[in-house]
Structure 1
Amino acid sequence: MIKGLFETHIFVEDLERSVDFYKNVLGLTECGYNDDRRIAFFWIGEPKGAMLGLWEKPKEEIDIRHFAFRCDIDDILNKSIEFLKARNLKPYNFLKDGTEKPMVFAWMPALAIYFKDPDGHDLEFIAILDGTAKPELGVISYEDWLVQKTS
């Protein structure tokens, strides 16, 4: 019965700041705004495909959440770091090697890079990779994945 995820909602401290971030920094399309309720909605990707809702709440009521934006492999490999840095966002991974390059979650397998929104929510660009999952590899570099997936 379930065919996908249509929407997710997060709490934000300053609705206007978050609207600016998701609209003007990340480039999402705003599709709804209600000042009385202090909520805004954005299409993620194609209109009517998936939605993000932002609800303004006091800082003490905000719990940090995580969600990921589906992307193309090529965009993550060749554009994501430049895209994030050009917008004063700090890309990060879980490789523990001091780099900011995308990583592979071998259990899926998927290529990913993380960054934060103005409230500290953990956001991710992710792309599913071809090949068989290899959970025993954990989190590895894309270069290591290319070597390991053929072994």
Structure 2
Amino acid sequence: MIQGIFETHINVSDVEVSARFYERLPGVTLLHQDTQRKSRFYWIGEPGTSMLGIRENYPSPLVQRQHFAFTTGVEQLYTAAAQLAELGITAQNFHGNSVEQAGELIVFPFMPAVSIYFTDPDGHSLELIAMLPHKAQPEQPLMTWDAWEALQQQG
């Protein structure tokens, strides 16, 4: 019955500021703008597969920090930190450490997946996550991508 998550909406303090942020991200395309409700809707990735909505002061002027992850490919994560830096966005790993190289990113062996984190103007936690083509290893602790790759070469 449920096949995935199609749509996510977040409350923002200033729709224009947030729109400028999201509209710079590769793979984010403006779908619709509702000026009366101070909201915008974006296709994420392939149009028709996933949508993000931002709305100013809805349901209240209080903005509670949210977290969501964008799907990406393994190849894109190799250059994601540099691309974000070009946009003036600091990339971090799961532990909150600033990253400049993909090898510093953290792998979640129980999936397995690797990801990079950044924040929007309201402090919402955004993630780019890529599934890795290896067998899940839930017995392994979180580790850097470099350590994960070394482990895969051993076994």
- Would you say same fold, with TM above 0.5? yes
> Which residue, 132, 135, 140 being the options, matches 1:129?
132
The aligned residue for residue 140 of structure 1 is 143
Alpha-carbon distance between aligned partners in 1 of 2:69 and 2:151, rounded to the nearest angstrom = 25
**Structure 1: runs of 5 or more not aligned:** none
Runs of 4+ displaced beyond 4 Å: none
Percent of pairs identical after alignment?
38
The aligned residue for residue 71 of structure 1 is 72
The aligned residue for residue 26 of structure 1 is 25
Which letter maps to 2:64?
Answer: D
Report the alpha carbon displacement of residue 147 of structure 1 after superposing the two structures with TM.
Answer: 2.4
TM-score (norm 2): 0.88
Residues 108/116 of structure 1: CA separation in 2 closer, same or farther (3 Å cut): same
Alpha-carbon contact 1:95-1:140 (below 8 Å) kept: no
Post-superposition Cα deviations, 1:75-109, rounded to whole Å, max 9, x if no partner, equal 102x101111111111111357x551322111110
Alpha-carbon distance between aligned partners in 2 of 1:68 and 1:128, rounded to the nearest angstrom = 12
Alpha-carbon distance between aligned partners in 2 of 1:52 and 1:60, rounded to the nearest angstrom = 19
Alpha-carbon distance between aligned partners in 2 of 1:138 and 1:91, rounded to the nearest angstrom = 22
Q: Superposed, which structure 2 residues align to 1:2-151 within 5 Å? A: 2-23=2-23, 25-27=24-26, 28-57=28-57, 61-77=62-78, 79-95=79-95, 100=99, 101-149=104-152, 150-151=154-155
Alpha-carbon contact 2:119-2:126 (below 8 Å) kept: yes
Report the alpha carbon displacement of residue 60 of structure 1 after superposing the two structures with TM.
Answer: 5.0
Q: CA RMSD in A?
A: 1.8
Report the alpha carbon displacement of residue 70 of structure 1 after superposing the two structures with TM.
Answer: 0.8
Q: How many residues align?
A: 148
**Structure 2: runs of 5 or more not aligned:** none
Which letter maps to 2:116?
Answer: I
Residues 95/15 of structure 1: CA separation in 2 closer, same or farther (3 Å cut): closer
Alpha-carbon distance between aligned partners in 2 of 1:99 and 1:55, rounded to the nearest angstrom = 29
Which letter maps to 1:108?
Answer: M
Residues 136/99 of structure 1: CA separation in 2 closer, same or farther (3 Å cut): farther
Report the alpha carbon displacement of residue 135 of structure 1 after superposing the two structures with TM.
Answer: 2.3
TM-score (norm 1): 0.90
